[in-house]
Amino acid sequence: MTDIQTIAIVGAGAMGRGIAQIAAQAGVQVRLYDTSAEAVASARESLSQLWDKLAQKGKLSVADAQAALARVQSAAALEDLADCQLVIEAIVERLDIKRDLFAKLEAVVGPDCILASNTSSLSITAIAAACQRPQRVAGFHFFNPVALMKVVEVIDGLRSDPAAGDALAALARRMGHTPVRAKDMPGFIVNHAGRGMNIEGLRTAQESVASFAQIDAIMREQAGFRMGPFELMDLTALDVSHPVMESIYRQFFDEPRFRPSPITTVRLAGGLVGRKAGEGFYAYPDGQKQVPAEAPVPAAQAGLRVWISPAHEDGHARAQVLLESLGASIVDAAEPPEQALIVVTPYGEDVSTCAYQQGLDAARTVGLDTLHRLEAGKRRTLMLSPATQARWRDAAHALLAADGTPVSVIQDSPGFVAQRIVAAIVNVASEIAQQGIATPSDIDRAVTLGLGYPAGPLAMGDALGGTRILEILRNLQRVTGDMRYRPSLWLQRRVQLGLSLLAEPAAN
């Protein structure tokens, strides 16, 4: 397939305008078509104003701005697209309407023209089934806002000619975007990989482990994410994200890893969909997010002695370094003495399980999450069992906050908050790799650029330790009995063989 110089975009909404913008700025001739002529005129006017502003800010020369606008031409009918080398569809997410459009386009364009869909959730193979030449059809999924989200998924349907995807990838790079290649599977890469954060965050809240704001704060300030799951869902809005959750769950035939939560069902029914509605998981008076104040730090308990369980060697060592730096009186004994705070450091277990298995006094026992670094200023998570008494909760809280570091106090949860959400993220990405939907490097590239995670999920698993992630998942499954936590074979095999989670099979 030849180098693409002239493209058509069908659909003059936000996505169509965004694609037109980056294409025209890259020197590509663009024909913009919509069933509404007013929408096309509005799109061109919007682009004109955008390029004028960029020129005023010095980000684009006046000549380049004028040249970009001249490259975007209005098309009055589909027949005006006859000589285009590529048509990108960016219309409503309905399979029947897309298939009807592609059948009509095929009757207009030349035999070598590529037909691409910007769909985020529909099967490329199903869309292509309406065409006489399905090999010319591929997915070209951009993210909103197009100019800022520098990744695009190139999706190969079952009958797509790989050369069509190659041409789309080359065009994406020319437009300043990073292409990632995916097989035609529900959610492709980014929407598929995003299940780990949101689904597990919802499950954690559903178990009354912590509030929405607490979970978000832990994921931001302990795990290092830009946003927590509830901030993210308020941004995307539940009327968008909840149907995607249901769709991917059903398309994978009720895969437990993707099981949605009734929390979003109820909130969607009540209209609490997010920022755009003024209320979601947070309230937004005057557009400003309201976050509940955190509980004050209790007074330090004089003469507090602390015994750290040795059951988890790595966690014990990390906890000891931290608590000694905070001035704690650590008791070095085989068993916890009377009137001492008991600290456990499990991976994938809860405090109740630890107390039961180790024969500890649950009234004095608390959990400390040691998966991530524990330096001053980085939020720490303190976990209670149902039997933990208030005096020991307050003593542990005061100790962990002694250097001014924020502390989240949560209820009993296998895997705390950060452990279980991060493990779910790594596990879902591992399964995407196992199913051959995308290469490990493209998975990490897509998630980093498309979701803004601090690292790709597979690289994240390597950094935290694949062995540790596997331990968390196995314990989560054992404690809860839920198949959603079963480890991906991709993860399990690479841990067994001492390989990176980014390692492809050697014989490939």
The set of catalytic residues is 120, 141, 153, 191
Question: Residue 287 carries which DSSP code?
Answer: G
Question: Residue 2 carries which DSSP code?
Answer: P
Q: How many CB atoms lie within 10 A of CB 47?
A: 22
Helix (H) or strand (E) segment spanning residue 344: strand 341-344
Among positive and negative, which fits the CA dihedral 295, 296, 301, 305? positive
**What is the length of the chain?**
508
Q: DSSP string spanning 7-50?
A: EEEE--SHHHHHHHHHHHHTT-EEEEE-S-HHHHHHHHHHHHHH
Whether omega before 145 lies within 30 degrees of 0, making that bond cis, reads yes
Residue 237 β-bridge partners: none
- Give start and end residues of each alpha helix (H) in 327-465: 351-358, 390-400, 418-434, 440-451, 457-464
Question: Residue 504 carries which DSSP code?
Answer: P
At CA 22, angle to CA 134 and CA 86, rounded to 5? Answer: 20
Q: Which two tokens stand for residue 187?
A: 């959610």
- Give start and end residues of each alpha helix (H) in 88-194: 95-106, 124-128, 162-174, 190-193
Helix (H) or strand (E) segment spanning residue 383: strand 380-384
Residue 280 CB contacts under 8 Å (≥ 6 apart), including other chains? 230, 233, 234, 237, 238, 267, 272, 273, 274
Residue 330, SS3? strand
Q: In what order do the strands lie in the sheet with 365-368?
A: 329-330, 305-308, 341-344, 365-368, 380-384, 407-410
Residue 201 CB contacts under 8 Å (≥ 6 apart), including other chains? 215, 219, 228, 229, 230, 421
